[in-house]
Amino acid sequence: MNKITIRSGSEGPSHDPYHFTEITFEGRFGTIKHHAGLATWTEWKGKLVREQHARDCFFGVVGFMPEEIEKFYYRMKQRRFLNHVKRCGRKNIESAPGYPGETLTYCKKCGDVLDCDFNRSAVE
Ligand SMILES: [Zn+2]
């Protein structure tokens, strides 16, 4: 079973912040992490592959480019959301702050958490 987690936020000096996206993909090959921002790197099995080789490494392991995984992830999330709306009704779906920097989207009717957005720049 594959699991994808995406975090985004900003990094770098506060006067010149840089947007980053970090994809964590857990699959049969283990856990691989791709970070694209001020620096680009891929971490897999304790190895850190930097800059221009980072994307190749990710592609070599996962079989897709980081952007494709990102697209799958958002499509999947949207589908899950729409299915839930069909089941419980849109008026029951609400957003609430969770832990610092987190926003939870949940259903009032059945209590399911549909989405959890983590924004690190809201914490730091
Ligand atoms: Zn529900």
Compute the distance from residue 109 Cα to the ligand 1 centre, in Å. 5
The pLDDT value recorded for residue 13 is 87
Residue 121: pLDDT band by 50, 70, 90 thresholds? low
| Total tally of structural domains belonging to the chain | 1
CA of 113 to the centre of ligand 1 (A): 9
Report the first-to-last Cα separation within the chain, whole angstroms.
Answer: 33
Question: Pick the residue with more confidence: 124 or 58?
Answer: 58
Ligand 1 centroid, distance to 121 Cα (angstroms): 30
Q: What is the mean pLDDT of residues 84-95?
A: 93
For 119, which DSSP code? B
Residue numbers of the domain that contains 91: 3-122
Burial 97-114 (b: 16+ CB within 10 A, else e): eeeebeeebbbeeeeeeb
CA of 86 to the centre of ligand 1 (A): 9
Which segments of 1-124 are extended strands (E)? Answer: 3-11, 18-27, 30-36, 40-44, 47-50, 93-97, 102-107, 113-118
Q: Which has more pLDDT, 17 or 43? A: 43
